[in-house]
Amino acid sequence: MIDAFDGKILKLLTQNARMTGAEIARNVNLSLPAVTERLRKLGRSGIIDQYTIKLNRKQHVAGDSDLLLKVLVADTAALEELLVRKIKSTKAVTRTSTTIILSTYKEEVNPKTL
């Protein structure tokens, strides 16, 4: 069960996964051993699955597009449906260009939007 301290720890780690135990302890007003034990429990229980990075996509995009839209679709039929019926049917859209991403370093998906 996650309590308020665990919630604060998780929030801090989502903002900065490189935060040290001492920094977390200062921020949540717990001792370093208490934070260390909580991190162990969160890891053992599977709540913390891994510590990772978030790539800044703004640093990896260049070109003449007015809008870059990244979508996750089930298959090419779903992509076609999205392009033809939703995007291209919009009067403000005069042209589109589609790029298929074959692989990524890290993919972040918001399950609430699926």
Short-list 11, 36, 12, CA closest to 22 = 36
Specify the pLDDT at position 107: 67
Q: Are residues 65 and 110 in the same domain?
A: yes
Domain extent for 19: 4-44
- The amino acid that residue 80 corresponds to is E
Query: What percentage of residues in the chain have a pLDDT greater than 70?
Result: 82
Assign 37 a pLDDT band (cuts: 50, 70, 90): very high
- The amino acid that residue 20 corresponds to is T
Residue 49 counted as domain residue: no
Which of these ranges, 3-17, 55-69, 85-99, has the smallest mean pLDDT? 55-69
- The one-character DSSP state at 88 is T
How many domains does the chain fold into?
2
Give CA–CA dist 78/80, Å, rounded: 5
